[in-house]
Structure 1
Amino acid sequence: MIETAVKAALEAGDAILDIYARDFEVEFKADESPLTEADTASHEIIVQALETTPYPVLSEESKAIPYAERKSWTTYWLVDPIDGTKEFIKKNGEFTVNIALIKDGVPVLGVVYVPVEDTLYCGVSEGGGAASPKAWKSVGCKGKSFDAIVADAAELSVSNYAASADRPLRVVASKSHCNDETLKFISELEATYGAAERVSRGSSLKLCMVAEGVADIYPRIAPTCEWDTAAAHAVVVAAGGRVFEYRNGSEAGEYTTGSDSVSDVPYNKENLLNPYFVVSGLN
């Protein structure tokens, strides 16, 4: 399954870059989110590839699939053909192709491809993280076989940052969604860990930063949808981190200890909007 997903992401990335290199038109969907021909081309390539597997596909660019149908899906693909279409339009390179395999509401396989950087993040965690999680990153994937990509990959691991570390806590803070509640959360972190260094990137790369250990925690107290996060969520879990539901009024410390009092973000809900969440690579 991982080989199928990787090949689909790379092929979609090539098609996206062909369009990225020239002028293109931008349409707007009913929710006012942008749509380009690159989103559509990527969607078609990925869906065609994944339809060779035994599992159904839910893509952001698919026609709406009723919950009455998909609630019976125990295993399925969840796809965002371009996560960060706004970044694609700005041509800043910070957009990704996201492909996840969901099993019983848990992302167990994730592929995040960054076409402009030709960088691939992968995570596989069979049984929802209970058996041999593994996450890796590979750079310079074009023209390589899957085996060569894996052979050149570097294993990923969260930072396991502790308050005694001799560097600042690195907090991912969204450039466009850093609201008052996010600032309050960061302030609570700083009360425990000291002054924090704030870092940011576009799209699902923010979660990948935590998986890679170049950031320690990412609070997302703003709207996202399931396809925005599922692939990178799988990479985070495989790298040893967690993606918790954020509850209004809870203190930041609750999300940094691995406490069972906070729940992991679920998938295949009737409403495909995610709850607010916190991505943690802390002890």
Structure 2
Amino acid sequence: MNLLNNAITAAILAGEEIIKVYDSRDFEVELKSDNSPLTKADKKAHLKITEVLSKTGIPILSEEGKHIEFDKRNEWEFFWLVDPLDGTKEFIKRNGEFTVNIALIKEGQPVMGVIYTPVTSTLYYGDLTIGAFKTKVEEIPVGEEIKFKSVDRLPCEKAVKYTIIASRSHLSVETEAIIEEKRKEFGDIDIISKGSSLKLCLVAEGSADYYPRLGPTMEWDTAAGHAIALASGCKVIRHDNKEPMTYNKENLLNPWFEVYR
């Protein structure tokens, strides 16, 4: 439970750093080598998370951290897998749909996940030993324990109609095709567009039934949501062979995948 508290604390404090930049509008957008955007908020969140999680003695693999060779990280039994600001495009658009993602990986499997949405102070967290939960974070007094308004066990909602969750910024042709297949199967369905790892959270909480991601993602994009989804009773499988998704591969690019209850 202490590791979960560490992850929750790191996520919330990183969220505070992000909000400072978000409210100042001082984005200073850069382009990384893959042409994806990078802001001051990404960097500040990474530093805060590293500051907190380094005290656990567990290695950290972060999107904004230094590149770590596979030969070294392949020896890790446990490690933190972090995306300090998932949904940078949503951050720049100022639509609030961005998150802090922190996962604990054990032997290639996500066993704990924390996702924090700074704009709404919404926190999702899950551990395979205790289940998955959603809560609202109250103001955090300096030096005191984090307080929650209330805590709901996931799933806590139920979609009325069959509901598919899709990416707001990355809707591929293949995804559109699979949505049409589901429409033929279920008839009248709902489609929800959402940014960042919130897509996995909506399936985990029960407000969506299915999330197909037939497009590129990286391991740090999905690991925290994957852990929360598993802890809430969902399945997260590869699209190609229907096997479970794994982490800490030599190539950190994810295969296409599907999430469902």
TM range (shorter): over 0.9
State which of 16, 19, 25 in structure 2 corresponds to 1:17: 19
In 2, distance between residues paired with 1:182 and 1:139? 32
* Aligned residue identity for 2:119: V
Is 2:62 the partner of 1:51?
no
Counterpart mapping for 1:144-163 below 5 A: 146=145, 148-149=147-148, 152-157=150-155
Change (3 A) 1:174 1:147: closer
TM-score (norm 2): 0.93
Bigger drift between 30-39 and 169-178 goes to 169-178
Bigger drift between 189-198 and 31-40 goes to 189-198
CA apart distance, 1:168: 2.0
1:276 aligns to what? 256
TM-score (norm 1): 0.86
2:231 aligns to what? 238
* Aligned residue identity for 2:260: S
1:191 aligns to what? 184
1:73 aligns to what? 76
CA apart distance, 1:90: 1.1
* Aligned residue identity for 1:6: I
* Aligned residue identity for 1:64: H
2:161 aligns to what? 168
CA contact (8 A) 1:241 1:280 kept: yes
Counterpart mapping for 1:1-283 below 5 A: 1-24=3-26, 25-126=28-129, 133-143=130-140, 146=145, 148-149=147-148, 152-157=150-155, 167-247=160-240, 262-281=242-261
Indicate the SS of the match to 2:76: coil
In 2, distance between residues paired with 1:158 and 1:23? 35
In 2, distance between residues paired with 1:94 and 1:176? 11
Alpha-carbon RMSD across the aligned residues, in angstroms, is 1.7
Moved over 4 A (4+): 144-147, 158-161
% of aligned pairs identical?
A: 47
In 2, distance between residues paired with 1:96 and 1:227? 12
Indicate the SS of the match to 1:43: helix
In 2, distance between residues paired with 1:11 and 1:148? 13
CA contact (8 A) 2:102 2:224 kept: yes
Indicate the SS of the match to 2:138: coil
In 1, distance between residues paired with 2:91 and 2:51? 23
Equivalences, count: 256
In 1, distance between residues paired with 2:202 and 2:145? 23
Indicate the SS of the match to 1:152: strand
CA contact (8 A) 2:81 2:220 kept: yes
